[in-house]
């Protein structure tokens, strides 16, 4: 069962869901396997998504957005991920990590300069938080930014790892976190916008990845990279705190994406067992497979309810950190288990990359890692419950 079978959506959101579902089936499904096999970025699909207004969903019309919210974005992400996660993560990262920090914390001049093209999908933005030696310890940032007051410029040195949408032909900026000083001996972390093509900003070749093969991911290096002091995003020293808020919101989006992958596994298995025969019987008559698919549906339904709850709490202005962590944890694990079970049901065909479930299996694992690992989510949930720091 899909999102439409789980909850009754307002007419405008129901229409959005149906439009994105149709787009995913008609425009993405027939061609995405080729992009995946070539490890090519789907510029044509991204352009069509821009024409649909998907990159502007949660932003006001004054900046070129659609005037929607995070619920609308999450609905679109679930429908896209039912077909392909590379396309879905391109949208999620472009909105949640590229444009949203500028909208949340940018000056009016920064919003006017960057958001119209980002909302239209003409340009993409990335966010450089993770570092090669840091992993989940984003607070241990080693990248530095020194203010050259004479030139009125930030001078950035350091590196970032696993940055989505950072090296495409339409990438216009990457916002990076950097240590800009110290407060009482503790590092002061700020966020700074670095336009693509800035001297001293180097994008490494794309990673050889296990999954998400049609998405763009790079390591970035900064060597005496200079940008105007006006490129500071938000308050100096508040970059890490700002991004923690972005991560909380982003976990809802990733949970919706994960739910979409889990639902895609159910969709494909229902189709396969209805067509395939073994030992003179349709596979759909096997109670063993019926139970497997029923369990897959239970995981998907639970995951969807979790992200919907977190989204509604956020939009109502209520605390949602714990619920977002729960949604991200439950949905990513549902995606991983469903992908494994779907591959088993498909047998040898499930091991082939040209089948959707083969791609789902390769794409699912990163959902338990990105935007905070499952272990980080459990830590956040424990802290929200008032439990002390572990040992």
CA distances from 168 to 51, 106, 204, 300 (A): 18, 23, 12, 33
Please provide residue 162's backbone torsions phi and psi, each rounded to the nearest 5 degrees: 60, 40
Least Cα distance to 259 among 313, 184, 162, 337 occurs for 337
Least Cα distance to 165 among 212, 115, 218, 210 occurs for 218
Is residue 368 part of the annotated active site? The answer reads no
CB-neighbour burial class of residue 109 (10 A; exposed 0-12, middle 13-18, buried 19+): exposed
Give yes or no for a contact between 233 and 191, defined as CB atoms under 8 angstroms apart: yes
Marked catalytic residue, from 275, 297, 371, 384: 371
Q: Is 347 left (phi over 0), alpha (psi -120 to 50) or beta?
A: left
For 182, other C-beta atoms within 10 Å of its C-beta total 10
Give yes or no for a contact between 74 and 253, defined as CB atoms under 8 angstroms apart: yes
Question: Which DSSP category does 67 fall into?
Answer: S
Bridge partners of residue 186, in order along the sequence: 183
| Rg over CA atoms, the chain | 21
CA distances from 96 to 22, 90, 245 (A): 23, 10, 11
**Residues labelled catalytic:** 371
């Amino acid at each position: 069962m899909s999102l439409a079978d789980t909850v009754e959506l307002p007419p405008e959101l129901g229409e959005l869901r149906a439009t994105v579902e149709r787009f995913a089936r008609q425009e993405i499904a027939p061609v995405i396997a080729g992009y995946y096999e070539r490890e090519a970025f789907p510029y044509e699909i991204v352009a069509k998504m821009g024409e649909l207004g998907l990159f502007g969903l949660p932003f006001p019309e004054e900046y070129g957005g659609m005037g929607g919210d995070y619920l609308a974005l999450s609905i679109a992400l679930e429908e896209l991920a039912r077909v392909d996660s590379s396309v879905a993560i391109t949208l999620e990262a472009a909105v949640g990590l590229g444009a949203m920090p500028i909208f949340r914390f940018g000056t009016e001049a920064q919003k006017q300069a960057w958001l119209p093209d980002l909302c239209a999908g003409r340009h993409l933005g990335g966010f450089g938080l993770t570092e090669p030696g840091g992993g989940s310890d984003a607070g241990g940032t080693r990248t530095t930014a020194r203010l050259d007051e004479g030139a009125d410029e930030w001078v950035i040195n350091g590196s970032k790892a696993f940055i989505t949408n950072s090296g495409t032909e339409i990438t216009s900026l990457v916002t990076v976190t950097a240590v800009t000083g110290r407060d009482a001996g503790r590092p002061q972390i700020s966020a700074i916008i670095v336009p693509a093509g800035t001297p001293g900003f180097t994008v490494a070749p794309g990673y050889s990845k296990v999954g998400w093969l049609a998405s763009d991911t790079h390591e970035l290096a900064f060597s005496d990279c200079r940008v105007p002091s006006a490129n500071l995003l938000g308050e100096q020293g508040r970059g890490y705190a700002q991004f923690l808020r972005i991560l909380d919101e982003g976990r809802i989006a990733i949970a919706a994406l994960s739910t979409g992958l889990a639902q895609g596994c159910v969709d494909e298995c229902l189709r396969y067992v209805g067509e395939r025969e073994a030992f003179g019987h349709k596979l759909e008559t096997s109670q063993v497979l019926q139970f497997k698919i029923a369990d897959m549906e239970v995981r998907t339904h639970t995951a969807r309810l979790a992200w919907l709850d977190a989204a509604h709490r956020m939009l109502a202005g209520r605390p949602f950190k714990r619920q977002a962590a729960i949604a991200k944890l439950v949905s990513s694990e549902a995606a991983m288990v469903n992908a494994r079970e779907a591959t088993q049901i498909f047998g040898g065909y499930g091991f082939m990359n040209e089948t959707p479930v083969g791609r789902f299996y390769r794409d699912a694992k990163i959902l338990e890692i990105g935007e905070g690992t499952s272990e980080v989510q459990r830590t956040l949930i424990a802290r929200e419950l008032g439990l002390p720091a572990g040992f």
